[in-house]
């Protein structure tokens, strides 16, 4: 039986979107030793490194098939958590692009952009070749059409859904990728059987909703990984996913309880732009 048929057969049994990778990722040329070096890098912010136990960066990037000779665009990298890994891994043979909300959009966007650019400028040895591009959320463009090998986004889709610009964003992913290119998505996974409407403003999304967004834009689902799963996450907090670390919005209230749960249960999805 072909891998795609196996995936659909298992999905029918277990009620999952896909049970195994339907299409293997392109083999990565980044070794475990190279990942170990960047993960232990003294340029990393200690609070960021403390999140490795929840975010499994090596396994996640390997699942997405990231190679050191690729052009990789990360969408809204925040404080540069993945920049600390991707920029040094790609600086010699590849190209790392940080796509941020255009600073002119809002004071928050400007503050975030300034902070990230300062981080990069302060360490040219690791970030000197990073390209920063700005995009407008309601009409996003992430680069020249067909210019990227891989687009990655971590814990951002729920924000676009809340803002109502998710369809335009996924279409922009499709446009910037080369035929055969990869879209890697990680986000907070909602309770099975719930809808996007059920999870409005709580930070979680149903996996099938995210899959449909990508498929509507033209992508094919190539695989799903449980590397970022967390069965302790009950997903029923009045303050949403931000109740959990690292946000811990309730402060000291029940802090030990939420630290014990850890970061959220997350979907990890790999999509492919069909080859022409």
- In this prediction the pTM is 0.91
| Cis-peptide into 246, omega within 30 deg | yes
Domains of the chain with CATH codes: 29-272 (3.40.50.150)
pLDDT bin (cut points 50, 70, 90) of residue 23 is low
The sign of the dihedral angle between the CA atoms of 251, 60, 9, 170 is: positive
Query: Is residue 20 pLDDT above 80, yes or no?
Result: no
- Could you give the CA distance from residue 189 to residue 264 in angstroms, rounded to a whole number? 8
- Could you give the CA distance from residue 146 to residue 148 in angstroms, rounded to a whole number? 6
- Could you give the CA distance from residue 64 to residue 24 in angstroms, rounded to a whole number? 10
pLDDT digits (tens, 9 = 90+) for 208-246: 999 999 999 999 999 999 999 999 999 999 999 999 999
């Amino acid at each position: 039986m072909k891998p795609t048929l196996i995936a659909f057969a298992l999905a029918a049994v277990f009620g999952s979107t896909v049970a195994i990778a339907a299409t293997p990722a392109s083999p990565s040329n980044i070794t475990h030793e190279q990942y170990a070096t960047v993960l232990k890098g003294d340029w990393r912010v200690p609070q960021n490194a403390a999140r490795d136990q929840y975010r499994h960066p090596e396994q996640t990037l390997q699942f997405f098939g990231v190679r050191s000779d690729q052009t990789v665009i990360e969408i809204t990298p925040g404080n540069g958590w993945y920049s600390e890994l991707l920029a040094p891994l790609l600086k010699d043979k590849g190209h790392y692009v940080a796509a941020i909300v255009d600073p002119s959009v809002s004071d928050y966007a400007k503050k975030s952009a300034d902070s990230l650019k300062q981080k990069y400028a302060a360490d040219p040895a690791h970030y000197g070749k990073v390209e920063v591009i700005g995009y407008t959320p309601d009409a996003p463009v992430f680069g020249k059409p067909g210019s990227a090998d891989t687009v990655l986004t971590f814990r951002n889709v729920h924000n676009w859904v809340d803002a109502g610009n998710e369809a335009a964003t996924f279409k922009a992913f499709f446009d910037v990728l080369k035929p055969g290119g990869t879209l890697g998505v990680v986000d907070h996974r909602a309770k099975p059987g719930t809808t996007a409407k059920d999870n409005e403003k709580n930070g979680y999304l149903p996996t099938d909703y995210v899959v449909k967004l990508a498929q509507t834009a033209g992508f094919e689902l190539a695989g799903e990984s449980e590397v970022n799963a967390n069965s302790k996450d009950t997903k029923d907090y009045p303050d949403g996913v931000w109740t959990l670390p690292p946000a811990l919005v309730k402060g000291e209230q029940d802090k030990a309880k939420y630290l014990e749960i850890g970061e959220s249960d997350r979907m990890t999805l790999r999509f492919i732009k069909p080859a022409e």
